[in-house]
Amino acid sequence: MSKTAGCCQNCLHYIFDYETPKTLVIPSLRVGFVFRFTQLLVVLYVVGYVCVVQKAYQETDSVVSSVTTKVKGFVFTNTSDAEPRFWDVADFVIPPQGDNSFFVLTNMVDTREQTQSRCPELPNPSTTCADDCDYIEGYNDPRGNGIRTGLCENYSTTVKTCEVLSWCPLEIDTKLPERALLAAAENFTVLIKNSITYQKFNFHRRNILPHINSSYLKICEFNRKTDPDCPIFRLKHIVSEAGEDFQDMAVKGGVLGILIDWSCDLDWWAGKCYPKYSFRRLDNKNPVNNVAPGYNFRFAKYYKTADGEETRTLIKAYGIRFDVIVFGTAGKFGIVPTIVNLGAALSFLSLVPMVTDWFMLTCMRKRELYSRQKVTYLTEEADTESVSDVH
Amino acid sequence: MSKTAGCCQNCLHYIFDYETPKTLVIPSLRVGFVFRFTQLLVVLYVVGYVCVVQKAYQETDSVVSSVTTKVKGFVFTNTSDAEPRFWDVADFVIPPQGDNSFFVLTNMVDTREQTQSRCPELPNPSTTCADDCDYIEGYNDPRGNGIRTGLCENYSTTVKTCEVLSWCPLEIDTKLPERALLAAAENFTVLIKNSITYQKFNFHRRNILPHINSSYLKICEFNRKTDPDCPIFRLKHIVSEAGEDFQDMAVKGGVLGILIDWSCDLDWWAGKCYPKYSFRRLDNKNPVNNVAPGYNFRFAKYYKTADGEETRTLIKAYGIRFDVIVFGTAGKFGIVPTIVNLGAALSFLSLVPMVTDWFMLTCMRKRELYSRQKVTYLTEEADTESVSDVH
Amino acid sequence: MSKTAGCCQNCLHYIFDYETPKTLVIPSLRVGFVFRFTQLLVVLYVVGYVCVVQKAYQETDSVVSSVTTKVKGFVFTNTSDAEPRFWDVADFVIPPQGDNSFFVLTNMVDTREQTQSRCPELPNPSTTCADDCDYIEGYNDPRGNGIRTGLCENYSTTVKTCEVLSWCPLEIDTKLPERALLAAAENFTVLIKNSITYQKFNFHRRNILPHINSSYLKICEFNRKTDPDCPIFRLKHIVSEAGEDFQDMAVKGGVLGILIDWSCDLDWWAGKCYPKYSFRRLDNKNPVNNVAPGYNFRFAKYYKTADGEETRTLIKAYGIRFDVIVFGTAGKFGIVPTIVNLGAALSFLSLVPMVTDWFMLTCMRKRELYSRQKVTYLTEEADTESVSDVH
């Protein structure tokens, strides 16, 4: 019994005896100052830089977003190349449904009344022929415009080219208007509605801010200085803010990013969370190492003639694709990042005594005295008896 | 030689002499208890909160996703406004290809047989005229519907308005049906196929879970309680789960988010990674500070008459755009976050002796005794001799 | 006055007296070695693993991306099922505008000359009828193809089915060509232009790298070994790299991911940031638990006959949807993660003396000696006098 009791007591001693380092107090103002000053530096860094500047105490979440766009405007074209025509949104915005990426047609090459038939190729060194179109059976030039029939036909009075089976007449996309057909598109406006969510914080926002009323929205137009919150943008303004010229860009097309930055600090009040708009050209306008410069694509409108034959109007559409890109990170006080950052700071605080000791034992005049009283060397002679007991 | 040897030995001493703090053991149960209890608190926090609740030992990755949608349903409309018509998916789903964002037409204003021609403007204060349409040359009202010709024509027997060059007849979008034309669209279903990847963990998943078989998929319909894993959703159900009424929403349109949350814990077994569906209206239905409420866009179907003239049917389409938004973060044990969090916890453990010392030296009855034995004051008098040696 | 001065002095003492632990130096090579070795291990881990391998000193940012795609190719179909036809990009790429997701038609079921009219249902157990089509008033089979009129009509000479009001003739999508109609689509090429941004680091890049020139871009084709930087991909190559067979996939369609990994280390020079392409099939080709296998959708081309009636050609389009998925994380030296990781490492360094003490006091032969000199037990008897003074 007494043995168990003794064991228990030993155990208790083992667990609850508190072992604390013996310390030496150095009443030196200089050493004390070095100690406190180093401590202060670490604390300042933690409070000032980590907490205030970097907000490292925050948990973060990425934005989840939904965008609706609506272009407004119309234009009347009356050039020598084409017949006069009135264009509205249904004609020049592709796709029509107003996603986060919309295309505004500014220039085009249209080829009307195409039918499935045969016609001579466009003349170039590999398509011109003299008498018979000599080609390997089954070979179709991937840079050509159709399936060769083997015949050689008159392209014009002077040139003969290989005949192809294709949508004829072939598109001649070299005569692109040098001044954009829909140059007036620069005055179109686009309304961008953007709704975002930070799921982790259950935070929802729209880019139409609460303090904006309907009457303002009917007349406003985005301007970084005077109307930074208006979600209606004039295309010309977007392009010029991106450092480009609308008329230049309209000829061959391009891709323009409308970037909405929703970086938010959700800590104190939600009102600090505003969208910040910026604009940047996303394709490479530099003609060096540039394949297929600008932005264009082909689409067709299909018709049927009275006798049931299918015809189409092929349109090579040049224009500006606007990509609304929403990004951002929200931060909010979180216990884990706070603990981790405080922990790291504490680690550095635990370095402070080491620095001060080093200073005290090397730079101070009385370093010998400090060293003698702080550091004891193991005394082997006293092996058989307790050091404490001896004295 | 002996000098070098001595130097070496010094160096060895410098590197391998181990300096350990001298400690004082306090056999006080109370102090020991405070020490152990504080330690326990820190350990509990680290194990319980950081590890179990916050899973801070995990590396995280964001989801990469691909979505396919397929709407099913048809409807027959027979209202007084329009002629009877049968609608199927090809008629009312735009765009047809089933991306992560699809639009279901529910209401519309269609203007048929539009041609490039001249017609009087819709009457409003700025377009009505008496005799001649006085306007600044080249000025085109951006809120008008076309290019003014300068003439003043009869809009009706009582009203004369400025004539414009436009797609005529002009669209009159004020007579929007008050009950949605395709009200029956609420019974359409949509199949959502979603395939996700966590690249960092090389983890792939589909929202059609392995335990689901084809026969179940043919008859099931998503229901949070009875069929939470079925990827087929009834539109009415989606809208009502978002807290909206389908018939209300169908009239003027709107944007509805189908949110798929793929937050996963990949640590123990992959089976814990399921999609969680939720639904939320993304546009602002609140009529205050709301520009262009609802969701609509205009598109046109182009036709050619027998004599080659282009006509179009302009459709102002109102409806619900469903945005499938996939988000989520996967976590998996990672050595770096574990180390960082353990390190931070250790830092806090190193605070425990400080707390205990403070408690011991201020709150305990024997604090004087503890202090005397723990803390030594520097004794300047003993300057010339080693403190240890003196005693 | 003197009291205030004394108080001030006390205060100064309290703040600037430096308390440093008294230490004992153990001149044992073995203990010293254990100490230094453990220290080395921790430092090695921190420098080697955390810094070099995991780059935990870096701040990270997620990629923001914009994609443009352009498919090239044409094909001539001449099968027994359909009349000969020439197809170009405007015919088989949907949507035409070249987003980050594009669809290439490879197979189809087209139903021409559909009009709003009446026709007998496709025969199946629920639609066949004998004399009169008995159905509940207002009931429309959601698996049917139209609104039942109640009549029973001859579908063929042998079968009678319920008549429906629908777009007639009905589509018969069971006779899908077993060999894909546009099998030759495998030789199409697609140019992918991708422009990315790391907003936090103000870093912009394109997948057309600076060292690539236009003449190379005109002839190159992506190949992991010979042309890893060429942004032009042959569809067949993409599909085979994903481990699939193009011809198999072309029949019923599918979804294929073109994954562009922009994981970047922006620390030393930006040139280390290259796109890495990979390809993966995203839909489930496994016929088990697979609803609606493959990838298809229906769309219609609308025509008007000479007498103004609307007809359409319904196309059930099968094909491969290519999703360009851009992902990646950039890392760059950041002061906060560095501090946090260093802090965590320091915490572990502060564990080293504990380990060494434990080793010294349990495993060494002289552990009794070390213990006696290191650890002092509180001496209650010496209550009234300073322990230090006694000796």
pLDDT tens by residue, C225-280: 999 989 999 999 999 999 999 998 999 899 999 999 998 888 876 557 889 999 99
Cβ atoms C236, C273 nearer than 8 A: no
Q: Domain total for chain A?
A: 2
Torsion (CA) A351, A357, A362, A368 in degrees, nearest 10: -170
Q: Are residues B219 and B279 in the same domain?
A: yes
Percent of chain C with pLDDT strictly greater than 90: 27
Confidence (pLDDT) at A269: 63
Q: Are residues A213 and A86 in the same domain?
A: yes
Determine the residue among C149, C252, C336, C347 to mutate to test chain B binding: the one whose Cβ has the most chain B Cβ atoms within 10 Å: C347
Residues with Cβ within 8 Å of residue A387, at least 6 apart in sequence: A379, C372, C373
Which chains, if any, share at least 3 CB pairs under 8 A with chain A?
B, C
Q: Are residues B113 and B186 in the same domain?
A: yes
Residue ranges making up the domain that contains C250: 62-121+170-332
Tell me if B336 and C26 make a contact (CB, 8 A cut-off): no
CA separation for the pair B196, B90 (Å, rounded): 28
What ipTM did this prediction achieve? 0.83
- Greatest CA span in chain A, whole angstroms? 125
CA separation for the pair B255, B250 (Å, rounded): 11
Residue C19 has pLDDT above 90, yes or no: no
Residue C387 has pLDDT above 50, yes or no: no
Quick one: which of B71, B290, B247, B62 has its CA closest to A68? B290
**Token couple for B182:** 């395709």
Q: Is residue A315 part of a domain?
A: yes
A29 CB neighbours in chain C (<8 A) are 12, 16
Quick one: which of B165, B161, B126 has its CA closest to B143? B126
Q: Is residue C34 part of a domain?
A: yes
Confidence (pLDDT) at C391: 40
Determine the residue among B9, B11, B20 to mutate to test chain C binding: the one whose Cβ has the most chain C Cβ atoms within 10 Å: B20
Q: Are residues C246 and C259 in the same domain?
A: yes
Which residues does residue C241 pair with via DSSP β-bridges, in sequence order? Answer: none
Tell me if A22 and B374 make a contact (CB, 8 A cut-off): yes
Q: Residue A155 — left, alpha, or beta (φ > 0 → left; ψ -120 to 50 → alpha)? A: alpha
Q: Residue B41 — left, alpha, or beta (φ > 0 → left; ψ -120 to 50 → alpha)? A: alpha
- Between vectors from CA B372 to CA B367 and to CA B375, what angle results, nearest 5°? 105
Give the helix, strand, coil percentages of chain B, each rounded to 5: 30, 35, 35
A96 CB neighbours in chain C (<8 A) are none
Q: Are residues A117 and A216 in the same domain?
A: yes
Q: Is residue C162 part of a domain?
A: no
Which position has the token pair 């403007």? B121
> SS3 for A24?
strand
Q: Is residue A156 part of a domain?
A: no
Question: Residue A225: phi, psi to the nearest 5?
Answer: -90, -50
Tell me if A32 and C15 make a contact (CB, 8 A cut-off): yes
> SS3 for B122?
coil
In B39-100, DSSP assigns E strands to: 58-62, 64-72, 75-77, 85-87, 93-94
Taking CA atoms, what residue in B is nearest to C283?
Answer: B195
Residues with Cβ within 8 Å of residue C96, at least 6 apart in sequence: A94, A297, A298, A299, C89, C90
Identity at B141, one-letter amino acid code: D
**Which of B314, B340, B388 is facing A90, going by the closest CB pair?**
B314
CA A182 to each of CA A103, A175, A318, B293, C357: distance values in angstroms, whole numbers, following the listed order: 13, 16, 10, 29, 83
Quick one: which of C374, C379, C295, C383 has its CA closest to C106? C295
Q: Is residue A239 part of a domain?
A: yes
Tell me if C376 and A383 make a contact (CB, 8 A cut-off): no
Confidence (pLDDT) at B388: 42
Tell me if A68 and B284 make a contact (CB, 8 A cut-off): no
**Token couple for B272:** 């814990």
Boundary-marking domain end, from A294, A314, A332: A332
CA separation for the pair C231, C68 (Å, rounded): 11
**Token couple for B212:** 């689901």
Binding residue per annotation — A298? yes
Tell me if B321 and A97 make a contact (CB, 8 A cut-off): yes
CA separation for the pair B270, B205 (Å, rounded): 9
A338 CB neighbours in chain B (<8 A) are none
- C376–chain B nearest CA distance, Å: 5
Q: Are residues B365 and B282 in the same domain?
A: no
Give the CB-side neighbour count of residue A342, counting CA atoms within 13 A. 13
Other beta carbons within 10 Å of B265: 15
CA separation for the pair A15, A5 (Å, rounded): 15
- Is there a cis peptide before residue A95, judged by omega within 30 degrees of 0? yes
Quick one: which of A186, A183, A153 has its CA closest to A168? A153
Q: Are residues C298 and C343 in the same domain?
A: no
- Kindly indicate the confidence band of residue C372, based on its pLDDT and cuts at 50, 70 and 90: confident
CA separation for the pair C99, C70 (Å, rounded): 9
Other beta carbons within 10 Å of B269: 8
Boundary-marking domain end, from C299, C332, C365: C332
Quick one: which of C275, C87, C74 has its CA closest to C192? C275
Confidence (pLDDT) at B386: 42
Helices marked H in A131-264: 214-219, 235-241, 246-252
Confidence (pLDDT) at C290: 64
CA separation for the pair C26, C5 (Å, rounded): 44
pLDDT tens by residue, C255-266: 999 999 998 888
Boundary-marking domain end, from C314, C332, C350: C332
Residue C136 has pLDDT above 80, yes or no: no
Identity at A380, one-letter amino acid code: E
Confidence (pLDDT) at C268: 73
Confidence (pLDDT) at B130: 79
Residue C284 has pLDDT above 50, yes or no: yes
Confidence (pLDDT) at B15: 78
Identity at B217, one-letter amino acid code: L
Average pLDDT of chain C is 84
Secondary structure letter of residue C47 according to DSSP? I
Which residues does residue A147 pair with via DSSP β-bridges, in sequence order? Answer: A165
In CATH, what number is assigned to the domain containing residue B221?
Answer: 2.60.490.10
A213 CB neighbours in chain B (<8 A) are 288-289
Percent of chain C with pLDDT strictly greater than 70: 91
Q: Are residues B83 and B37 in the same domain?
A: no
A49 CB neighbours in chain C (<8 A) are 335
Residues with Cβ within 8 Å of residue C338, at least 6 apart in sequence: C57
Q: Is residue C8 part of a domain?
A: no
pLDDT tens by residue, C173-221: 888 888 889 998 999 999 999 999 898 888 888 888 888 877 888 888 9
Q: Which helix (H) or strand (E) holds A213?
A: none
**Which of C22, C193, C212 is facing A23, going by the closest CB pair?**
C22
**Which of A16, A20, A96 is facing B353, going by the closest CB pair?**
A20
Cβ atoms A308, C306 nearer than 8 A: no
Other beta carbons within 10 Å of B2: 6
Confidence (pLDDT) at C210: 80
Q: Is residue B355 part of a domain?
A: yes
Question: Residue A88: phi, psi to the nearest 5?
Answer: -125, -175
Q: Are residues B196 and B231 in the same domain?
A: yes
Q: Are residues B317 and B384 in the same domain?
A: no
Given a cut of 70, the residues of chain A with pLDDT beneath it are 1-3, 134-141, 269-271, 286-292, 381-391
Q: Are residues A276 and A309 in the same domain?
A: yes
Cβ atoms B320, A241 nearer than 8 A: no
Tell me if A375 and C24 make a contact (CB, 8 A cut-off): yes
Tell me if C341 and B336 make a contact (CB, 8 A cut-off): yes
Residue C92 has pLDDT above 70, yes or no: yes
Other beta carbons within 10 Å of C276: 12
Q: Are residues B211 and B235 in the same domain?
A: yes
- C335–chain A nearest CA distance, Å: 9
- C22–chain B nearest CA distance, Å: 6
Residue C388 has pLDDT above 50, yes or no: no
Q: Which helix (H) or strand (E) holds B369?
A: helix B367-374
Confidence (pLDDT) at C300: 92
C214 CB neighbours in chain A (<8 A) are 288-291
CA separation for the pair C104, C95 (Å, rounded): 9
Identity at B204, one-letter amino acid code: H
pLDDT tens, per residue, chain B with 391 residues: 456 677 777 777 777 788 888 888 888 888 888 889 988 988 887 777 777 777 778 888 888 888 999 999 998 888 777 788 899 999 999 888 888 899 999 999 989 889 999 999 888 887 888 777 765 545 566 778 888 888 888 888 888 888 888 998 999 888 888 888 999 899 999 999 999 989 888 888 888 888 887 788 888 899 999 999 899 999 999 999 999 999 989 998 999 999 999 988 888 765 578 899 999 998 877 666 666 688 999 999 999 888 888 899 999 999 999 999 999 989 888 888 888 888 887 888 888 888 888 888 888 888 888 888 888 887 775 444 444 443 3
CA separation for the pair B77, B182 (Å, rounded): 7
> SS3 for C81?
coil
**Token couple for A286:** 């530099």
Tell me if C290 and B99 make a contact (CB, 8 A cut-off): no
Q: Is residue C342 part of a domain?
A: yes
Tell me if A195 and B283 make a contact (CB, 8 A cut-off): yes
> SS3 for B303?
strand
